[in-house]
Chains A and B, each alone.
Chain A
Amino acid sequence: MEKRVSYRNRYLPWLLLTPQLLVIAVFFFWPAGQALLQSLQQQDAFGTSTEWVGLDNFRNLFKDETYLASFRTTAIFSVLVAGLGISISLVLAVFADRVTRGVMVYRTLLIWPYAVAPAIAGVLWLFMFAPSIGIASYALRRFGVDWNHLLNSQDAMTLIVAAAVWKQISYNFLFFLAGLQSIPKSLVEAAAIDGAGPWRRFWTIQFPLLSPTTFFLLVINVVYAFFDTFAIVDAATNGGPGKDTSILVYRVYYDGFKALDMGGSAAQSVVLMIIVVALTVIQFRYVEKKVTY
């Protein structure tokens, strides 16, 4: 896309671009390049000597059983977050699309968690599920469930999934509601006249027409689970018990800033970069087709 008319000026466009370019050069490209370099180097603990080690950092990384475990943890976590988040919000959006009165009230009450910081979400859920004093863990005990996310890794995983899904429902809900409202009423009415009940209409008309939205949300939710949930994990479980909830992003932070293994952390950064690039490519290749109705 090009404008038909434009200005010609030797200095002005450069001047206009300078602030943005400076920021991305200094804080994005330079550090990303450094991460690539460091991933091929090994520093001793005091940072006094650096040597080239080729792909050794990556080899060590993928030989490390705990790193592979972190991959599995991240995979389980993102499947649960995306799956639960999308299905719960789809159900809510379908019913919100159906009610004639109070849609705005429901919408307002359902979307505010978007504004809640992941770290705060982590703190709220941690408080409710604190093993000895939490109101939710008390309720669970009444039902015979001995909840302790500090010792039981399944409980810990459930906790971070719940907090992450809770925070993401608002986002998915808004997109599903917008998607449902843009489906022409005449289609649904025609099917109703033909005698299709609500259940049948949902599966044969609304759900297929929503599939671009669903796919888009799937990508967004996976990105969210991979990258935006660091604060939830840090606030709610600290990656524990052991390393059972330390997702990849938590590992990068922990290895780089707590364990001070710069080479290993940089190699992990590069692995994460590859994942982001893949997800972004998927998003831009397929999300173009989002608006099909």
Chain B
Amino acid sequence: MLVERRPTLGLLAHAILLCGVAVVCFPLWIAFVASTHTAQEVLQVPMPLWPGAHFWENYTSALLGTGSGSGSNAAVGQMLLVSLISALCIALGKIAISILSAFAIVYFRFPMRSFFFWAIFVTLMLPVEVRIGPTYQVVSDLHLLNSYAGLTVPLIASATATFLFRQFFMTVPDELLEASRMDGAGPMRFFFDVLLPLSSTTIAALFVIQFIYGWNQYLWPLLVTTNESMYPVVVGIKRMIAGGDSANDWNLVMATAMLAMLPPALVVVLMQHWFVKGLVDTEK
């Protein structure tokens, strides 16, 4: 405990933190309030600041796509499903292929081992944004446009995950391998029975980070999906906004925004411990 007492400074700290929280949470409150009113009520200037009575109506209308705004009125339920499937595929895919590569790189001796390690490392420097044209071309040549494979496979290579598993494997005592070898276990048996269970913390931490990464993808789905039934919610919401300020069903747009924020926000808040660990570890 600090040797001094400064009650005013303590009060100031709480005041500043509360201001920070207020600014950070204000957009969320506004979105929630707007999602519980009718479109006309939201268009009042200023709009109401307290929730209205149209919560269920708006959310069912958004989920089923029965709105009548000037933009797209696609069903948000379908979009959420697309987002969920792609985010899960991306997160699990990244974890699976990275843990296998890290296992090969750490536990085997073979020619060009470090070359492959660096090849994976270099992909850090090639985010989608710097190769969008040609990558789109590849995906379209492979006939993967408007498919889950097109949405996920090009994103599942992961240098950070491979590094993280490599670093973790380096800390696993060699004696474990020696012991399992003495018991007659082959490499894959060692991998599944020893390494995989030991990696569960790292896997959980990575899952949180990669699930959010997958759920929040925007540019890539924007390019590879042209069919309304394959839009993830993050892309779909943009298409609901068209025309002037007052032509949109803002109540439904905000309901969609709430629905789009809910799954990743829940993952962050409920798995906070793993999230913080994953964030700090992946950036080391």
Contact = CB atoms under 8 A, between A and B. Distances in A.
Interface of A: 1, 3-10, 12-14, 16-17, 19-21, 23-24, 26-35, 38, 88, 91-92, 95-96, 98-100, 102, 106-121, 123-128, 130-135, 138-139, 166, 169-171, 174-175, 178, 185, 188-189, 192-193, 198, 216, 220, 227, 230-231, 234-235, 249, 252-253, 256-257, 262, 265-266, 269, 272-273, 276-277, 280, 290
A231 B237 CA distance: 12
Nearest to B19: A92
Given A120-B261, A135-B30, A188-B2, A13 B17 contact: no
Contact of A119 (B125, B138, B234): B234
Interface in B1-18: 2-4, 6, 9-10, 12-14, 16-17
Given A30-B134, A108-B272, A99 B245 contact: no
Contacts of B127: 227, 276
Given A21-B116, A95-B16, A118-B216, A113 B130 contact: no
A31 B126 CA distance: 10
A95 B13 contact: yes
Nearest to B45: A138
B235 A119 contact: yes
B21 to A, nearest CB: 5
Among B129, B130, B156, B187, find the residue whose CB has the most chain A CB atoms closer than 10 A: B130
B84 interface: no
A111 B131 contact: no
Interface string B216-247: 10110011000000000011011001001110
A3 B264 contact: no
Among all A-B residue pairs, the 8 with the closest Cβ atoms? A34-B134, A31-B134, A117-B216, A115-B264, A231-B218, A16-B104, A13-B108, A95-B13
B212 A119 contact: no
Nearest to A14: B110
Interface of A is mostly: helix
Given A92-B17, A234-B238, A34 B137 contact: yes
B187 A9 contact: yes
B195 interface: no
Contact of A138 (B3, B42, B46, B96): B46
B183 interface: no
Contacts of A115: 212, 216, 261, 264-265, 267-268
Contact size range, B: 35 or more
B245 A276 contact: no
A8 B16 contact: no
B170 to A, nearest CB: 6
B257 interface: yes
Contacts of B267: 115
B271 to A, nearest CB: 11
Nearest to A275: B130
23 contacts: A3-B106, A12-B187, A16-B103, A19-B97, A21-B101, A27-B153, A29-B119, A31-B134, A31-B137, A92-B17, A96-B13, A98-B13, A109-B24, A109-B25, A111-B268, A112-B28, A119-B235, A120-B234, A120-B257, A123-B253, A133-B250, A231-B234, A269-B132
Given A20-B101, A20-B120, A192-B4, A249 B129 contact: yes
Contacts of B64: none
A252 B129 contact: yes
B215 interface: yes
Given A21-B116, A35-B133, 8 more contacts: A24-B157, A38-B134, A102-B14, A123-B238, A124-B31, A133-B42, A234-B218, A280-B124
Contacts of A262: 133
Given A114-B268, A118-B218, A120-B260, A269 B178 contact: no
B16 A27 contact: no
Contacts of A139: 46
A96 B101 CA distance: 40
B47 interface: yes
Contacts of A269: 130-133
Interface stretch (B51-59, B199-207, B275-283): B275-283
A13 B3 contact: no
Contacts of A198: 6, 9
